[in-house]
Structure 1
Amino acid sequence: MTYRHQIVLGPAQETLLIPLYGRAVETLKRNPMAIDRRAVEIVEAIGYDFAKFDGDRSLAGSVLRGLIFDHWVAAFLRAHPGGTVVEIGAGLNTRFERLDNGICHWVELDLPDSMDLRKKLFEETDRRSMIAASIVDDTWAARVREHPSPYFFVAEAVLIYLTEADTRRAVGQIKDSFPGTTLAFDTWGEWILRNQRRRDQRRRDPLRKMSAKLEWACNDPREIESWYPGITLTASHTLATPPRTVRTALPLRMRALLPVMGVLPQTKAYRLNLFTLGSNTRKAEQ
């Protein structure tokens, strides 16, 4: 088979293929958690050995993770239809295709190699900008301000690959440049990092097949409130305890698995979090 696009990515950037493939696989199931035809098209268009992920239970976890982030972004857009969503480490995510309301604005930020691939598969418009830059740089903020406020920043499976120092710097830059904005990102606990090497050796985990490694741990996301004045944690979930509207929309087979997932130490150690960076905080749906 001849593919239109070949993959050349760095170790951390290569992880963007896991949720892409997860959404494509889920779409083709009889009773899927989510339908993402664009993900199916992209998997078919790029040259990569996706088969090495087949049968991995973590693929479904990546889909559920995406649904929780989608839930928060969709809530923001209902409250601010003309606002701007900023995706940090956009990878090959199709969140714009899934949630675009026709008047919102979107900024997709990623490292140059990832963005080079993304621009081959997606198109910029007057409402959608793509920026090749690192979140720890200070070059991207001016481009984001070209789009209207308010802003919602989402970093799905991105900051966990940075060091704690770089994560603090990234959060601080967002807070200073866009005070009062909302930021959603996930965190891993110490259990995950301690067992990373053991998991790589013994378990069938997509990350075992890649060289990217998790860099920092956060046992309690409330600790991040102490990084800078004005940071407030407004919601935090595990994959086993998604927001109510996400949980009720899941297929019965997935809802039945949630209690089983909830007792696993890796599930307890992984959290999806919503923060406000400044004043005017408001509790999100629990």
Structure 2
Amino acid sequence: MTEPRRPPELGDIQETLLIPLYARAVETSKRHGMLSDPRAVEMVDAIDYDFTRFDGAKSLLGANLRTLLFDAWVADFLQRHPKGTVVEIGTGLNTRFERLDNGTVHWIDLDLPDVIELRRTFFQDTDRRRMLALSVTDPAWTDEVRKSPGPYFLAAEAVLIYLEEQQVHSVFDLIAERLPGALLALETAAGRMVDSQDSHDVLGKVAARMRWRCDDPTALERWRPGVHLTDSCSFARLPAPVARRLNPAYRLMLRAASLLRRRDMEAYRFNLFRFAD
């Protein structure tokens, strides 16, 4: 007997987790997709939500490129620290652990209580992986992370851009004070992108809105002593490990977009910060 589909029952910002979930499911159905995520397909089928509102959106491609980029950063970290701890900040229904588990990594999935409640429908805690129902602005999550072996990689994919700048600043303070030596991956959105989001092909169809405006990621180095930007890229300039995953059609599409809309593509950046020990 088929299980009834479950309504997601999420807050406005939390609802945005359904966008990258659907993006991975759609890509999985393609013959030569850039990634394969059968779990995403299962979850989309199990959730009672009108995912078709996102059909045809080019930003689904962007969501998958972002996922691959964060995957590459985490994979590099695990090559150097196979027994370290990865923290997915705002984990949503991410499946990065399924793609990258090396058998020794410790993993923490952090999100708000409504998201974790939904997530527990599909995932269970294990001896190396557990879920935390806490806000990223609550210092308690760093206390839990410190119970896991370091060093730490913190992946904040599509999360901090929805907070006010003061809240993002407080997150940086938390990490600097409580998790020295950590790496933090996050996006930044320039002001012109924040101003135009009502007409965005997917954000324009949900209630959540980006709040944090950041035109220059290097400015974040001045927030705290010892915070260093070690990498920053955009859709116009993706690192080789990500570019190699793309089929020729995707590469051609990105090359054309880089020539015609480079300024727009540079407005949304992916950044990797290191916090001093």
Name the counterpart of 1:213: 209
Alignment size in residue pairs: 274
SS at match of 1:70: helix
| CA offset digits 1:233-282 (Å, max 9, x no partner) | 00001012111121122111111112222242331100000000115xxx
- Of 266, 270, 274, 2:272 maps to 274
**Who is 2:255 aligned against?**
259
What letter corresponds to residue 246 of structure 2 in structure 1? Answer: L
2-structure distance, mates of 1:62, 1:266: 16
Give the whole-Å Cα distance in 2 for the aligned partners of 1:236 and 1:15.
23
Q: Calculate the TM-score normalised by the size of structure 2.
A: 0.96
1:129-172: CA deviation from partner (whole Å, max 9, x where unpaired): 10001011111112112211110001001000000000000111
Q: Quick check: 1:87–1:109 contact (8 Å CA) kept in 2?
A: yes
Q: Distance in 2 between matches of 1:215 and 1:260?
A: 29
Q: Which moved more, 1:48-57 or 1:255-264?
A: 255-264
Distance 2:194 2:89 in 1: 23
Tell me if structure 2 keeps the 8 A contact 1:155–1:185: yes
1:34-53 to structure 2, matched below 5 A, reads: 34-53=35-54
What's the secondary structure of 2:56's corresponding residue?
coil
Distance in structure 1 (CA, Å) of the matches to 2:83 and 2:235:
30
Within the candidate set 222, 227, 239, 2:223 is matched to 227
| Runs of 4+ residues over 6 Å off in structure 1 | none
Question: What residue in structure 2 maps to residue 177 of structure 1?
Answer: 178
Separation of aligned partners in 1, 2:106 and 2:274? 20
Partners of 2:273 and 2:256 in 1: how far apart? 28
User: Partners of 1:16 and 1:194 in 2: how far apart?
Assistant: 21
Q: Does the 8 A contact of 2:111 with 2:133 survive in 1? A: yes
Partner of 1:119: 120
Q: Pairwise mapping of residues 1-286 of structure 1 onto structure 2 (< 5 A)?
A: 3-197=4-198, 199=199, 205-262=201-258, 263-264=260-261, 265-279=263-277
How large is the RMSD of aligned CA atoms in angstroms? 1.2
- Contact kept? 1:241, 1:258, Cα under 8 Å: no
Matched residue type, 1:158: V
The secondary structure found in structure 1 opposite 2:154 is: strand
- Larger displacement relative to structure 2 (241-250 or 162-171): 241-250
Q: Distance in 2 between matches of 1:257 and 1:152?
A: 31
What's the secondary structure of 1:173's corresponding residue? helix
Gaps of 5+ in 2: none
Partner of residue 283, structure 1: none
Give the unaligned 5+ runs of structure 1: 280-286
Shift of 1:2: 5.8
User: Aligned AA for 2:245?
Assistant: A
- Contact preservation (8 Å) 2:27, 2:36: yes
Q: Percent identity?
A: 50
- The superposition leaves residues 158-197 of structure 1 with CA deviations (integer Å, 9 ceiling, x where unpaired) of 0000000000001110111111111000000011022223
Please give the TM-score of this superposition, normalised by the length of structure 1.
0.93
